[in-house]
Amino acid sequence: MSSRRPPRGEYIETDTGNKVARKATLVGTQNIMLGGKTVIQPEAMIRGDLIRTIQAQPQSASGAAPNNTAVSIGRYCFLSRGCCLRPPGRLYKGAFTFMPLRMGDHVFVGAGSVVQAASVGSHVHIGARVSIGEFAIIKEYVRILDGTVVPPNMVIPSFSIVAGQPARLIGEVPEGGHEAFELRDLYKTVGNNPQPMPI
């Protein structure tokens, strides 16, 4: 698929190295923070419009504008075709509010997966057709296999491999498996000038 060169740039490449497909759907872009070198494939969707409406503490004396970031994404993340990131929402003190979704570096989100976590740590691999329930917390170095349903509020500690509906721990990431989470090489293989995967 990547060998085919689209006539016009399929991706918009930003100054910080983000590669955002023209056919990706980013709603509320002003509330989406990209750390740089992140790939957003076609048909991926990010709901930046679902911002937090209740601040946990009233804004401190600084008087700064309330932080409206709805989705923040680190560096070298890879959002595959058809995935969807959206902030989780819940009732807080009797009123409904969305809360921000934070994502670390080197996070891979597989095709068609829906992520509504509160936070996703760095070096996390989320397979295809995965549902991450609202307010789940996923720590670093976690592998979520294809088709997993992570229930809302679940905490997945580091070095877990989870699968199933609902997700359960099925193994631990071995010591030698840390490097496999790196997405620098994958980053180069997409975009308007894709390179072959280095060996």
170 binds another protein (CB under 8 A): no
Q: Which helix (H) or strand (E) holds 184?
A: helix 184-188
The amino acid present at 37, given as its one-letter code, is K
Identify residues 12-41 at the interface with another protein (CB under 8 A): 23, 25, 27
Q: How far is the CB of 96 from another protein (least distance, A)?
A: 4
Interacting residue with another protein among 74, 100, 110, 133 (CB under 8 A): 133
Q: How far is CA 158 from CA 31, 46, 113, 144, 155, in A?
A: 28, 25, 20, 12, 10
Interacting residue with another protein among 89, 186, 189, 194 (CB under 8 A): 89
CA atoms within 13 A on the CB side of 38: 22
Q: In what order do the strands lie in the sheet with 119-120?
A: 32-36, 71-75, 101-103, 119-120, 137-138, 155-156
177 binds another protein (CB under 8 A): yes
Interacting residue with another protein among 17, 35, 147, 194 (CB under 8 A): 147
Distance CA 169, CA 161 (A): 6
Interacting residue with another protein among 33, 81, 186, 194 (CB under 8 A): 81
Q: How far is the CB of 124 from another protein (least distance, A)?
A: 11
Closest CA to 78 of 141, 119, 124, 32: 124
Q: Which residues bind another protein (CB under 8 A)?
A: 23, 25, 27, 43, 45, 47, 49-51, 53, 81-82, 84, 86, 89, 91, 93-98, 111-112, 114, 123, 129, 131, 133, 139-141, 147, 149, 151-160, 164-166, 168-169, 174-177, 179-180, 199
